[in-house]
Amino acid sequence: MKVRGSISIIALVVVAFGFGTAEASASPWIQAHRGGAVENGKGTMPENSLPAFRQSAARGFTLEADVKLTADKVPVVIHDDSLDRTTNCAGPVKDKTLAELENCEIDVIGIDDAAVDLPAGDKRRTQIPTLAQLLNLLKKTGASANIEIKNLPTDNDWDPTYEYAAIIANAIKGSGVPSSQLMIQSFLPKNLVKFHEIDPAPTTSYLTLGVINSVGISSAVDNGIDWVSPQWPIDQQFVSDAHHAGLQVVPWTVDDAAGIREATALGVDALITNDPLMARANVKKVAPGLEAIPKAPSAKACRSTFARDTRRPARAMLKRKDAKGGPRVFAMQFKQEARHIKTYASFRKKIECMIRKWVVPYKAKGRPNVVAFNEDIGLMTLGTGSRGAGAREAFAKPAEVTECTDAAPPCRAIVGLNRITAAYAGPSTEYQSRYSIPNPFARGLVAAADTDARGWMQVFSDMARRYKVYIVGSNTQPRFRESQDPAEISLFRDPDLPKPKSVYVATSPEVYNEAFMWGPKLVRQEGPRPLRNVVASNLKVPLTAIEVGLGLTAGPKSGADAIANLKPYRLPGTKAKVGFATSLPAFQFGYDLGSPISGGAPCADVSITYMRCLSHLGTNLVMQDEANPGEWASPKGTYWQPLDWMGSTWRSVVDPGVKFTYNVTPHMVGNLGDLPFDGQTAITQRGLTAKKKCNYVGNRKLRPEDVSSYKRYAGPKRQFITLAPWVRKDGPRAQLRKTGAALLAASGKKMENRYLETAAIADLPFPPKKKRKNCIS
């Protein structure tokens, strides 16, 4: 965002003070200024043009754009208030209707010193795009954009009522572009305040001229703005002060190699440049690179990592000719144990050993392999290192937690989480100064952002790249950025490790249950390193009562953000469209099975109709990662968990109101302190015609104590491709309950914490093979 020399600095300062007084990474996101009209110092594209935006979007840059209004109040993408500099027309933009502007051509490539006039008839000439056209490009490509509201007192179209900003806000809000793809910027906080009155979802950024950079931080905080965008140059103190205030920093406009390197070293979170390719090359010279993946453990070293009770995987592979069009899926029934989180290396070893034992020998050739781990696979890793020692002890030895001598579960698990909050007191105090985090559990979860990113997330990223697979897992954690800011490194570094080149820093007080899918290749060149090969993610909505109690924030339930959150991922080389339904959402159909399918838009409120919306968006393979906090063999007087679970894993492939072909449900098992996690991993298919039938334990018949609406769920079913056994054979519920009670923490029984660790492997072709072996365990 380069301000033209004709702008009166004094006038702009006066207006800014009148209203303003009172995610990002060590490899900063690169914003292509006006689309990125310069390439390695030479003008190559018309500024603020669709060709420039398309090219930068394809290269993975954020699109920076300016918006003005026509005479008929249509938002168009152009920087100046006059047409003279960049087009073959003349006069103010505000004096021409959109129809009149369509006769104007952008007749310059490049910007400023790199600008070159284009002669009449040059094919590189192009029309001035509308904001609607830019927003449509964002929808098609998934690119992000930083859009400036150019309502300025120095321009000929200045609107002191700020209706100007309202028109732009309404256009963006009604476009269907998710807020996660948008940033809105302005030199006037009042423009951003007006925008947020209409559309509060997108992040905002306060642009400042160098003369008022010093007040940008306080003005942004006072007006609820998320980023500061100071005129370059700035210094380390500015960056650290902005971060301490809970803001992110995106300086403008940095166009020389030395400046790019300096800004990166300061720890800015993004930067605006006319020459994004040059910027990318120079960011790489300064930002921390991808670290070498540690050497894989040997088979001998892996032997001690497996659970005491381990069963060979259920294998439902097909002949090559029958497996076309779909992936091979590995559903991992992981047993959480505190011994695997003593260090980052011990968790890495555990995960990699499971992959080497149950994935590598069975990988399909010539098509994708998807390794599905579980919900909250990263939660126990909060107990990593010296800061996690107290929590690790509570998780591993719940009987020794003296605070809970006479207390019922999950007291010991809660004590473990409280110990995390206490152990991360330094980071927690800093985050409390940046944000308001009233929930004590959420404070601990936010404070541990660096541990999450450095630990389980980096492991999953590395495993996907090393073994050329897709990997799924989820955790309860905040959104984060990677920072080279020295002040933040001192505040948030792990005291057990040598001083790092960067740390991972939470960008807001919200904590989400978020599922991620990593792919075998990098899909972005900037941003936090553990996220560079993430191909899809999903925020859980709705949340369970436990999650609400922990202070979690649900994902969006309506609008463009909800649709983007549920949009399935098209697995390359297959016809599979993978959608995520983390536990509770997989039960949300909006009507009972067998009842009339409820009317209305399927995505109007996904907290009620999650599965209908997931199906409506085209999902044909449901990834239902699970961490079921409770006894699988439910105590008498409560509903029978295995019967209830039929309402997701099985229902999703028989309900006529949805069109899913497959459901993959990998369960995490094991006691976290005195909180049990249990279940039976399963893979189901719609339309299976096999004769064999099977069921979860205790489900062979509907019992008198069961809810009558569960009648359809009772009895053996043929839709299970695979079904993991439980820790004992099926039998009367009384016997199953006795075993379930023995599994619990501090039961004193031989079966205490003896959950089964296993996996299920299945080819999931498209079209599906209806006649295949089933009920494999």
464-479 pLDDT, tens digit each? 999 999 999 999 999 9
Q: What's the CA gap between 555 and 562, in Å, rounded?
A: 7
| Residue carrying the six token digits 């073994």 | 467
CA torsion through residues 276, 282, 286, 287, sign: positive
Which pair of structure tokens corresponds to residue 226?
A: 């998320």
Assess whether the previous peptide bond of 410 is cis (omega < 30° from 0): yes
CA atoms within 13 A on the CB side of 422: 9
pLDDT above 90: residue 7 = no
Asked, for residue 109, whether it belongs to a domain, the answer is yes
C-alpha to C-alpha distance for 103 and 457, rounded to whole angstroms: 52
Domain final residue pick, 286, 321, 352? 286
Give CA separation, 551 vs 74, 329, 383, 672, in Å: 42, 33, 19, 19
Give domain status of residue 394, yes or no.
Answer: no
What's the pLDDT tens digit per position in 476-532?
999 999 999 999 999 999 999 999 999 999 999 999 999 999 999 999 999 999 999
- pLDDT at 212 > cutoff 80: yes
**CATH at residue 112:** 3.20.20.190
533 and 566 assigned to the same domain: no
| 210 and 244 assigned to the same domain | yes
d(CA 535, CA 470): 9
Q: Does residue 741 sit in the same domain as residue 632? A: yes
- Compute how many other C-beta atoms are within 10 angstroms of the C-beta atom of residue 482: 29
Question: Do 597 and 700 share a structural domain?
Answer: yes
Q: How confident is the model at residue 22 (pLDDT cuts 50, 70, 90)?
A: very low
Of 555, 574, 598, which closes a domain? 555
- Our count of domains for the chain comes to 3
Does the structure show a pLDDT above 90 at 714?
A: yes
C-alpha span between 311 and 532 (Å, rounded): 34
Residue 243 lies in a domain: yes
Same domain, 521 and 610: no
**Nearest partner of 320 among 769, 777, 623, 690, judged by Cα:** 769
| 559 CA to centre of own chain | 17
Query: Do 109 and 222 belong to one domain?
Result: yes
Mean pLDDT of the chain: 95
Is residue 327 situated within a structural domain?
no
Answer for the pair 145, 80: CB distance below 8 angstroms, yes or no. no
CB 667 within 8 A of CB 681: yes
Question: Measured between alpha carbons, how far is 140 from 734 in angstroms, rounded to an integer?
Answer: 56
Cβ atoms of 262 and 240 within 8 Å: the answer is no
For residues 143 and 65, is the Cβ–Cβ distance under 8 A? no
SS3 content of the chain, % helix, strand, coil (to 5): 35, 20, 45
Residues 475, 480, 483: CA angle, nearest 5 degrees: 140
Cα–Cα distance for residue pair 396/390, rounded to 1 Å: 10
Which sign does the torsion angle of CA 281, 287, 293, 294 carry? positive
Q: For residue 301, tell me if it sits in a domain.
A: no
Q: What is the pLDDT of residues 338-371, one digit of tens each?
A: 999 999 999 999 999 999 999 999 999 999 999 9
Domain shared by 348 and 213, yes or no:
no
Q: Does the pLDDT of residue 20 top 80, yes or no?
A: no
Per the structure, the complete domain to which residue 507 belongs is given by 336-385+420-555
Q: Are residues 479 and 627 located together in one domain of the fold?
A: no
| Three-state SS letters, 348-405 | HHHHHHHHHHHCHHHCCCCCCEEEECCCCCCHHHHHCCHHHHHHHHHHHCHHHCHHHC
Is residue 638 assigned to a domain? yes
Residue 583 shares a structural domain with residue 516 = no
What is the mean predicted confidence (pLDDT) over 243-260?
A: 98
pTM: 0.95
Instruction: Check whether residue 620 and residue 583 sit in a common domain.
Output: yes
Of 286, 316, 348, which residue is a domain's last?
286
Query: Are 186 and 257 in the same domain?
Result: yes
**Per-residue pLDDT tens digits for 294-311:** 999 999 999 999 999 999
Predicted pLDDT at 25: 56
Residues in the chain: 777
Please, which pLDDT band fits residue 26 given cuts at 50, 70 and 90? confident
What percentage of the chain reaches a pLDDT higher than 70?
A: 97
Q: What is the structure's pLDDT at 598?
A: 78
* Beta pairing partners, 513: 476
Of 368, 372, 361, 371, nearest to 324 (Cα)? 368
609 and 548 co-located in one domain: no
